[in-house]
Structure 1
Amino acid sequence: MPHYASYDAAELAYRVLGPRTGEGAARPPLLCLAGGPGRDAAYLGDLGGLDTHRTLVLPDSRGTGDSPPAADPIGYAFPRLAEDVEALRRHLGLERFALLAHDAAAATAQAYAAAHPERLTHLILVCPGARMQGELPQDAREIFESRADEPWWPDAYDAVQTLPDTTDLGEVRRLLLRAAPMAYGRWEEPQRAHAASEGEQLGPVPRAGFWQGVDEAARRAVLARLREVPCPVLVVTGNRDAVTGMRAGELVAESFPNGRVRPLPGVGHYPWVDEPDLFRSVVEEFLTGA
């Protein structure tokens, strides 16, 4: 994997997918941030085939995948991860670029947009939470409970209740797999295969450090600066997402002057796994038409 030197000289890894020649190779690359927080970018795969039409750049954040751990724990906090994105931009020689972020990485992307608004042509936030907005909507729980007639639900419910009090990493991974069906629009072979990798891809230290050092004043400052971000912003949500729900995405979109929400039917927390063709077409339409 290629590497780049970040602001503190740390050598961080990234992966490049996409066409080598033709129109797709000539398009500006799409930088794609993995969530978790603290999860290897490998779970993004090719984002439903987005690499067919353009180059994807997928960095491993500090302490995940092939990137080394942070020398200082504050390096795991999402505002510092945003500065890693800026270092990657410089490394790639991009004046402006499009940025996609999934799940918790939406906080990193918002911090980046607040600090470097002039660098973004487009921003895509996929199934974000609304912790940056200071709210924790309850519709994810409602979505989860609405699926109680599905065969996996009793075991997933038990796992969800047990997880908060579990500290053993091996047991946490087992519980995550039991709870995994709630994160998908349906529980079939593609979803099962995708979920099987989650436990091994999560880094407990980067995960624990993601929100550290960000006080209420800092959060509000980021939110205020988002009102000045000029680029178009697309927030993708799924009506079967029992992890972050749909209301959080609406709140995130409302934080930007040019934000809009695109809810996807039959889709959970990983839209490119549940409906790859739909997800790919929505993102491509936004990038080429907005």
Structure 2
Amino acid sequence: MSLSATRHRTVEVQGQQIFYREAGDPTRPTLVLLHGFPTSSHMFRDLIPALADEYHLIAPDHVGFGQSSAPPVDGFDYSFDRLTTVTEALLDTLGLDRFALYLHDYGAPIGLRIATRHPDRVTGLVVQSGNAYLDGFTPFWDALFAHAKDRTTHEPAVRRLLTVEATRWQYTHGVPTDLLDRIAPETWLLDQAGLDRPGNAEIQLQLFWDYQFNLDVYPDFQRYFREHQPPTLVTWGRHDEIFGAAGAEAYARDLPEAEIHLLDTGHFALETHGAEIADLIRAFLRRAG
């Protein structure tokens, strides 16, 4: 079988079954792709084969998402610290010593924790709608931050983020009308099927609540940027109403050499600009080494 073909695999990590997609020659430079909410490694289904001729790609599903284990909330610590620990252990299990990181949404606080702990292992960062600064938080977050302070009162509001209407909105908001036909409906329907599994709503509510603690480590992320100056490519939807464009531009504050591209789309930029992003990543990784 060609190494460029995507393989779908599962490995046990810290007692959890972690599903991941892999393609490319493992002797070539590795790019680890970390997805966000409410999706899975499925979001990288087109990007992986687009880069597999030249790079080794690994895209795991986080615990509670996609095809990975999803134990109930009383059987697993659903926190971003814990998801980071599992991801670190996966990379060690797969023998990945050096890699670039693709950070999307939830993948950003997970991947940047890894980078701050192991700066010598990270060859570069590709960021798509993944905040490391307070800049760019939009009104979308008002209910989530209120929920962080008072879970009981604000839980009904954040539960609405788990509906199919909200999931579809994440894919379509900010996308120009003439590009909407690029978005396959199975994207949000597959994500929704994951959200609708018994017990998954409670998992997502716990992660919504825990997100507040990511902001506490933003200074650590920014210190890592200043001290280590990792090569960084930012490809971000200009019209993203979850993580606004100011979140993309903020990276230049500590990474003056960062390459920042604001694309004419929304939160899931790969759905409308996948070929363009693949070309940007290929050129970036060649320069980053």
Give 5+ residue unaligned stretches, structure 1: 142-162
Rounded to whole Å, the distance in 2 between the matches of 1:169 and 1:133 is 23
Q: Does 1:100 align with 2:102?
A: yes
Matched, 1:174 2:181: no
Match of 1:288 in 2: 286
CA distance 1:135–1:207, shift in 2 (3 Å): farther
Aligned to 1:165: 157
RMSD in angstroms over aligned alpha carbons?
A: 3.3
The equivalent residue for 1:242 is 241
Alignment: residue pair count: 258
- Tell me the equivalent position of 2:228: 229
Query: How many Å separate the matches in 2 of 1:62 and 1:275?
Result: 28
Letter in 2 for 1:10: G
- What CA distance in whole angstroms lies between the structure 2 residues aligned with 1:72 and 1:93? 31
Residue 288 of structure 1: how far off its partner (Å): 0.8
Distance 1:190 1:216, change over 3 A: closer
SS in 1 for 2:77: helix
Deviation at 1:138, TM superposition (A): 4.6
TM-score by length of 1: 0.74
Q: Is 1:10 the counterpart of 2:15 in the alignment?
A: yes
Cα deviation 1:90-145 (Å, max 9, x = unaligned):
112122111112122111111111111111011111122x3x4234445999xxxx
Which residue does the alignment assign to 1:272?
Answer: 270
1:45 is displaced (CA, Å) by 1.6
- Counterpart position of 1:208: 205
Provide the rounded CA distance (Å) in 2 between the counterparts of 1:166 and 1:121: 37
Partner residue of 1:114?
116
Q: Map 1:147-158 to 2 at 5 A.
A: none
Q: 3-state SS of the aligned residue for 1:75? A: coil
Query: What displacement does 1:264 show?
Result: 4.0
Residues 164 and 188 in structure 2, CA contact (< 8 A), matched pair in contact too? no
Q: One-letter code of the match for 2:39?
A: R
Once the two structures are TM-superposed, the CA of residue 248 in structure 1 deviates from its matched residue by 0.8
Residues 88 and 246 (structure 1 numbering): CA distance in 2 closer, same or farther, change over 3 Å? same
> By how many angstroms is 1:89 displaced?
1.7
CA distance in 2, matches of 1:258, 1:12: 40
Residue 139 and residue 254 in structure 1: after superposition, are their counterparts in 2 closer, same or farther (change >3 A)?
A: farther
User: In the alignment, which residue of structure 2 is the partner of 1:46?
Assistant: 46
In the alignment, the residues of structure 1 paired with residue 94 and residue 236 of structure 2 have an alpha-carbon distance, to the nearest angstrom, of: 30
Alpha-carbon separation, structure 2, partners of 1:100 and 1:166: 27
Q: Which residue of 2 aligns with 1:152?
A: none
1:90 aligns with 92
8 Å CA contact 2:236, 2:245 repeated in 1: yes
8 Å CA contact 1:233, 1:253 repeated in 2: no
Pairing 1:199–2:197 present: no
Supply the AA of the counterpart residue of 1:270: F
Kept in 1, the 8 Å contact 2:17–2:68? The answer is yes
1:215 Cα deviation after fit: 7.4
Letter in 2 for 1:197: L
Q: Match of 1:149? A: none
Partner deviation per Cα, 1:38-82 (whole Å, 9 max, x = no partner): 532223323272334323211111111222235767732222222
* Identity level (%): 22
CA distance in 1, matches of 2:264, 2:136: 23
1:277 deviation in Å? 1.7
- 1:48-87 matches, within 5 Å, as 49-69=50-70, 75-87=77-89
Q: Is the 8 A contact 1:101 1:126 kept in 2?
A: yes
1:244 is displaced (CA, Å) by 1.8
Q: CA deviation at 1:253?
A: 4.6
Contact 2:138-2:242 within 8 A present in 1 as well: no
Query: In the alignment, what sits opposite 1:157?
Result: none
**Distance in 2 (alpha carbons) for counterparts of 1:64 and 1:223:** 28
Residues of 1 paired with 2:264 and 2:74: CA distance? 41
SS state of the match for residue 2, structure 1? strand
